[in-house]
Amino acid sequence: MPASVTNDTLLAFKAGRAFRRDGSNIVEADPAKGAILLTNGDDGLLHFIWKNRETDVSEEDLIIFPTDATFTKVDQSNGRVYVLKFSSSNQRHFFWMQDASSARDDEFANNVNGVLQDPEHPLQWGTSGSSSSSAPPAQASSSTTTSTTPAAATPGFQATPEQLDYLQTLLRAGGATTGAAEAAIPEASLVDILTPANLTPLFTNHPELVPTLFPYLPPDLPMPPSAEVVQRIIHSPQFRAAVASFDQALRTGLLGNLVRQLGLPEEAGLGIAPFLRAVQAKADRENREAGGMDTD
């Protein structure tokens, strides 16, 4: 499906893709000439698109929620390689800059990151002083369709053992079937957070917080709500199963609507880490509004 540079294109620049070779952790650049475009879609969502410049076909079209993804340089590579990473999933997409000169690489990357955090981010270009929301995409990609291949394209880069190690940590998630997003920093499970061992001391040290839980207890308990009842509930197999079930659902990243009902922003539904961040942010706000609290 051809994607043209339209008014809804926030920025675009020449870039190729790189892929992990099957059965190994080596990432190899694909020589196809392409472009990365960031656009505001008809669906009101931010799209990260990779288009093949020779066929004019968009071969990747990723929808990105604010703060979920980052676009960072893979420092340990010879080439100008960048990786698009998500906090809500294990997805990794590798790209390499194809513009003749590397002078503007950082500029493009910083703008991409800015927009990934916030689609309203004002783009900053080195040449023009005042920033505007629609930066000159034409400047980036279409000055000549025949790029100066020998200089721009360095297809294929071989990673040294140290570089391989680094790539391995990024890629292990892609190889593993479930569980840790990165081998070094696995994601927490709500089941391990909401343990009686963690909760019981809280109830003892902050008894004033226990009644805040009462509205969320089952309405048809055969006894009135109390701290003892809360203790019984958090120990119960039914509650523990519900925590595991919610944990599993949250990992799908699809709970944007449900978390809004909890008074959290939609991004909180993208995964465990975004959810916990949003909860902490809300708690901090409420603490401030209440005039501060002693924290342990």
Partner 1 sequence: MSDEEQSGWQLTESDPGVFTELLKTLGVPLIVDDLYSLDSDSLANLQPLHALIFLFKWVASGDSESGPGSSSGTYDPDFQGFFAHQVVNNACATLAVLNALGNIPSLPTGPQLGELVSFSTGMDPQTRGLVITSADWLREAHNTLSPPSAISLEGLNLPRKSEDAYHFVVYLPVMGALYELDGLKPHAVRHSAYSEDGEGWLKVAREVIEARINTYPMGSLEFSLLALRDDPLPTLQSKIQEAQQAGNRELEHELLSTLTNENAKRERWAFENSLRKHNHVGLVHALLMVMAKSGKLSEAEAKAKEAMKTRIEQRKARGEDMDEDD
Asked if 91 touches partner 1 (CB under 8 A), the answer is no
Choosing from 63, 138, 151, 180, the residue that interacts with partner 1 (CB under 8 A) is 180
Residue 109 tokens read as 């990357």
Q: Phi, psi (5° rounding) for residue 97?
A: -70, 135
Three-state SS string over 159-173 comes to CCHHHHHHHHHHHHH
CA-wise closest residue to 277 among 74, 78, 67: 67
252 vs 234: CA distance, rounded Å: 24
Closer CB to partner 1, 145 or 238, in the complex? 238
Contact between 122 and 132 under an 8 Å Cβ cutoff? The reply is yes
Angstrom distances, CA of residue 177 to CA of 27, 56, 90, 184, 221: 19, 34, 10, 16, 41
| Closest approach of partner 1 to the CB of residue 31, in Å | 34
> Hey, is 244 helix, strand or coil?
helix
Closer CB to partner 1, 92 or 206, in the complex? 206
Choosing from 5, 100, 164, 194, the residue that interacts with partner 1 (CB under 8 A) is 194
DSSP state of 20: E
81 vs 234: CA distance, rounded Å: 48
Closer CB to partner 1, 115 or 181, in the complex? 181
Asked if 227 touches partner 1 (CB under 8 A), the answer is no
| Closest approach of partner 1 to the CB of residue 258, in Å | 7
| Closest approach of partner 1 to the CB of residue 238, in Å | 4
User: Residue 15: CA atoms inside 13 Å, Cβ hemisphere, count?
Assistant: 32
| Closest approach of partner 1 to the CB of residue 257, in Å | 11
183 vs 181: CA distance, rounded Å: 7
> Hey, is 212 helix, strand or coil?
helix
Could you give the string, one character per residue 235-274, with x where binding to partner 1 holds by CB under 8 A and - elsewhere? -x-xx-xxxxxx-xx--x-xx--x---x-x----------
Asked if 151 touches partner 1 (CB under 8 A), the answer is no
Asked if 224 touches partner 1 (CB under 8 A), the answer is no
| Closest approach of partner 1 to the CB of residue 246, in Å | 6
Choosing from 21, 22, 178, 291, the residue that interacts with partner 1 (CB under 8 A) is 178
Residues of this chain that interact with partner 1 (CB under 8 A) are 176-180, 185-194, 198-199, 202, 205-206, 209, 212-213, 215-223, 232-234, 236, 238-239, 241-246, 248-249, 252, 254-255, 258, 262, 264, 276, 279-280, 282-284, 286-287, 293, 295-296
